[in-house]
Amino acid sequence: MKSYLDCIPCFIRQSLDSVRRVSNDENIHQEVLRSILSKTSNMDLSESPPSMAQFIHRLIREKTGVADPYREIKQYFNREIMAMFDDLKSRINQSSDPLETAVRLAIAGNIIDLGARNQVNQHIIQDAIDHALNNPLLWDKEEFVAEVEQAETILYLADNAGEIVFDWLLIEQLPVQKITVVVRGYPTLNDVTLADAQEIGLDKIVQVIDNGSDAPGTILHDCSIEFVERFNQASLIISKGQGNYETLSDVDKDIFFMLKAKCPVIADDIGCQVGDMVFQRSSSHLYSQQIFTK
């Protein structure tokens, strides 16, 4: 997905929020903001939004000297959602359709995205869960189940810390031995890294690899060769969140996107409303597969 003019005010807001989260130095805030303003004034709109977000968060790490600015907040969300694990698991197992309930909850968990909104708290997460359990989910369950059954290998592209706990609950409803969870290669925003997967113990139940990139999405030409090979070889991709959608929606690969639409730009691109749950198969599965090479 390309970037839209409407992404730009959002980049500017996100830059200011993020740098303030990391540093109390007004001079650094100003330096970062001026750099982002200058960069966006020349930005190539054909690039996806996570490409600019990658630049922004690299710059913030560089200017502040903090390697993982969102470390504490990621730990907070990991802990908060792990504390809900047993309750969420009961809800899934006691529901009439555990797989669908797990899919709904995994999409609800995508609310924990500090790129799309300044603030996420327990109240907002609870609202997202209630919304997910009580609103229409447009998905072709039979198609998804058939593809999962046929697949030899499935890559599950995770998105954010905290959200990964919801992903864990969904993965438990799938053939876990076929699945590899993919996290970001380096800290960026509140996106999930190996440290988060290890912190919650997800790496004990499923293989977890990183993609080698510090973009808050999956920019294939920025990922490691090892990851790209795994991506190309995978029978099926499950992609969580806006950043992965924005970077992979035009890639010729069979992908099931799951996300909560949190901004008008992505909602327009998908053809839904802000707040909607999205479960969408890439249209490119209809055509011959083209392998991406680095």
Catalog residues that contact a copy of itself under the rule CB under 8 A: 5-6, 8-9, 12-13, 16, 26, 29-30, 33-35, 37-38, 40-42, 45
Closest to a copy of itself by CB, 34 vs 79, is 34
Judge whether 161 and 192 are in contact, CB under 8 Å: yes
Tell me the three state secondary structure of residue 135: coil
Judge whether 243 and 226 are in contact, CB under 8 Å: no
Q: What's the rounded Cα separation, in Å, for the pair 159 and 161?
A: 7
Residue 293 CB, shortest distance to a copy of itself, in Å, is: 33
Q: What's the rounded Cα separation, in Å, for the pair 185 and 160?
A: 13
Closest to a copy of itself by CB, 27 vs 94, is 27
Closest to a copy of itself by CB, 17 vs 100, is 17
- Residue 286 CB neighbour total at 10 angstroms: 8
Residue 151 CB, shortest distance to a copy of itself, in Å, is: 41
Closest to a copy of itself by CB, 13 vs 141, is 13
Residue 57 CB, shortest distance to a copy of itself, in Å, is: 17
Residue 25 CB, shortest distance to a copy of itself, in Å, is: 12
Sign of the C-alpha dihedral, residues 156, 52, 291, 227? negative
Residue 16 CB, shortest distance to a copy of itself, in Å, is: 6
Q: What's the rounded Cα separation, in Å, for the pair 137 and 100?
A: 9
Q: What's the rounded Cα separation, in Å, for the pair 130 and 110?
A: 13
Closest to a copy of itself by CB, 12 vs 137, is 12
List the beta strands (DSSP E) in the chain.
Answer: 154-157, 179-183, 207-210, 236-240, 255-260, 277-281
Strand-strand pairing, 154-157 and 277-281: unpaired
Q: What's the rounded Cα separation, in Å, for the pair 234 and 255?
A: 10
Residue 32 CB, shortest distance to a copy of itself, in Å, is: 10
Closest to a copy of itself by CB, 5 vs 286, is 5
Residue 37 CB, shortest distance to a copy of itself, in Å, is: 4
Residue 83 CB, shortest distance to a copy of itself, in Å, is: 33
Give me 264's structure tokens.
Answer: 């008008």
Closest to a copy of itself by CB, 52 vs 259, is 52
Q: What's the rounded Cα separation, in Å, for the pair 212 and 223?
A: 5
Give me 41's structure tokens.
Answer: 């004034």
Closest to a copy of itself by CB, 26 vs 87, is 26
Q: What's the rounded Cα separation, in Å, for the pair 44 and 48?
A: 9
